[in-house]
Structure 1
Amino acid sequence: MALFKSGNPALSDKIFQKSIETQDSGTMTVKGTMSKFGLLLFLVIAGAIYSWNLYGAYRLDTMNTLMWVGAIGGFICAIVMSFKPQTAKYISPIYSLLEGLFLGGISVLVNAALAKKAPNVIFQAIGLTFAVAIVMFFLYSFKIIKPTEKLKSTIISATLGVALFYGIAMILNLFHVNLPFMYNSSALGIGLSLLVIVIAAMNLILDFDMIDQGSAMGAPKFMEWYCAFGLMVTIVWLYVEILKLMIRLFGNSRN
């Protein structure tokens, strides 16, 4: 039976097993991980504010360029850290800044598109993201939701299912085959968004459990950075999915 399980690919069983065998000064702690997560969150916010201000200064070309640089650069950083967790101490701050540029760019575009129907949509999405994260933390802390082996397997399977479904949809889109419910405001589309948000939120339970287990098993100190990065990946995913739901609810249907 696997010692660590998470639907988050950044926090996989193999990575934790290898990390325990790695010699490093000091061991991982929950407090250290959360402090590093706080720093990464600050960097994401800083990058997002910078992108947002570019829009306000009418530097749209620069903002769009940085948004794509953030998306592609963040993805590359995540891949590197997935193979070399030891590099998270150096790369995770870069990843966070890049993700901030990306999130700031898409946020300001959504805000502009929905300004008449929902002028505060971005603040609502941010508020909901933090609210969900806090609720899931308390549900985990008070053991209202326990990360049993059965629950872990269910969440992992659901997460892989979402990834596979999104991948198929992207491939079909390349061949000009669209799935209308992926974009429109139909009941099916809204239901899909809500389902994915629930799956993303449940991944937070697994992330919190992984951090606790890593600390209990004496994982090396660099895993604090890596686990903080993994938690950030889930938070970013949750925010993007909530933003998609907002677009469905307040935007025009796309048929």
Structure 2
Amino acid sequence: MATNPVFNRIDKEAQQYAGFNQPQGQAAPQGHPQQGYGAPQGYGPPQGQPQMPMGYPGASESMSPEQLEQMYQQAPAGPAQTGRLTLDDVVMKSLALFGIVLVFAVGTWFFVDPQQTLGFGSPELAMPIWLLGMFGSLGLSFAIAFQKKVNVPLIVAHAVLQGLFLGAVSVTFNTMWPGVVTSAVVATMGTFLGMFIAWKVGFIKVTSKSRRIFGMMAMGYLVFMLVNIGASFLGFGDGWGIYGGPLGIIVSLLGVALASYSLAVDFDSIDRGITAGAPEKYSWLMGHGLVASLVWLYIEFLRLFAILQSD
């Protein structure tokens, strides 16, 4: 994957739900919404506040003091009870999608394994599966990003296609350049951890301006990738396309940098969604964006280490 179009949608949705705790006619402060604002018209009372039955004016007047005391002594309702997004939701959905990617990646690896580790393999199917997974997941990425509703079946299908793509490209690269897959996996996990820590402590910041700049650069890189795929099929750069030239390593490093910053954007979008009280269903969308960024980063590292080993 050359870009992750989901992050723009997540940010827009977070801004939409950031108005949950604002009073009618008063704008929220810039950044994360703050506590202490009343609920806007059309929404229920703030989380944790007792709610009277609909259409029953003066209900509290007909309740006994014991009933009223019992109601107000109840623990405030948390996000899980009110159907709002929580970090646990995002973590569980991300792990589920990542598990689907891994299962299909491992299955594809052994299905096309040229070395026939398990006694069988169909290496001639590696390229068709590679192309199906790559272009199929790219198309679904945009479909998921631009749909008005969260489409869980499409998100799961995207994870399946990414698994097929990862398995085919990984076994092919590892056959030609032994050890690059292990190096790419270690580098991806290390970068993920490093980017999270850097974002959490504020060393790497995500702002509206940086999002716009990143979005334009990511789309430009996507166009470059599509052009490079065509050039590689035509035999340019010994099959590497533009990456086969003297600037190949520099371009690969740029891809790693963009994919790394995509993780920071995902972290920030998840934080905004949770703070704004977005619906729980958006955990699927955020998990999808996070896994897509991880896959993108892994592919960039895989290409970079293959180029370095080729030289």
- TM-score, normalized by length of structure 1? 0.81
Aligned amino acid, residue 161 of structure 1? G
Contact preservation (8 Å) 1:86, 1:222: no
Query: Where does residue 182 of structure 1 map in the other structure?
Result: 242
Residue 74 to residue 152, structure 1, CA distance change in 2 (3 Å): closer
Stretches of structure 1 lacking an aligned partner (at least 5 in a row): 1-6
Alpha-carbon RMSD across the aligned residues, in angstroms, is 2.9
Residue 157 (structure 2) pairs with residue 94 (structure 1): yes
| Per-residue deviation, 1:124 | 0.8
| Per-residue deviation, 1:222 | 1.6
The correspondence of residues 1-255 of structure 1 with structure 2, limited to 5 A, is: 8-13=4-9, 16=13, 20=17, 26-54=83-111, 55=113, 56=116, 57-84=120-147, 86-114=149-177, 119-169=178-228, 173=231, 178=236, 182-184=242-244, 186=246, 188-251=247-310
Contact preservation (8 Å) 2:150, 2:282: no
Based on CA coordinates, which of the two structures has the bigger radius of gyration? 2
| Per-residue deviation, 1:87 | 4.1
Q: Alignment partner of 2:203: what SS?
A: coil
Contact preservation (8 Å) 2:236, 2:244: no
Residue 53 to residue 137, structure 1, CA distance change in 2 (3 Å): same
What CA distance in whole angstroms lies between the structure 2 residues aligned with 1:204 and 1:215?
Answer: 17
| Per-residue deviation, 1:159 | 1.9
Q: Alignment partner of 2:84: what SS?
A: coil
Q: 1 or 2, which has the higher helix percentage?
A: 1
The Cα offsets for residues 99-125 of structure 1, whole Å up to 9 and x where unpaired, read as: 1111110110011111xxxx3211111
Query: Where does residue 76 of structure 2 map in the other structure?
Result: none
Pick 1 or 2: higher relative contact order, CA cutoff 8 A, min separation 6: 1
User: When the two structures are aligned, how many residues end up with a matched partner?
Assistant: 238
What CA distance in whole angstroms lies between the structure 2 residues aligned with 1:131 and 1:41?
Answer: 17
Contact preservation (8 Å) 1:19, 1:223: no
Contact preservation (8 Å) 1:211, 1:227: yes
Moved more, 55-64 or 127-136: 55-64
| Per-residue deviation, 1:95 | 1.4
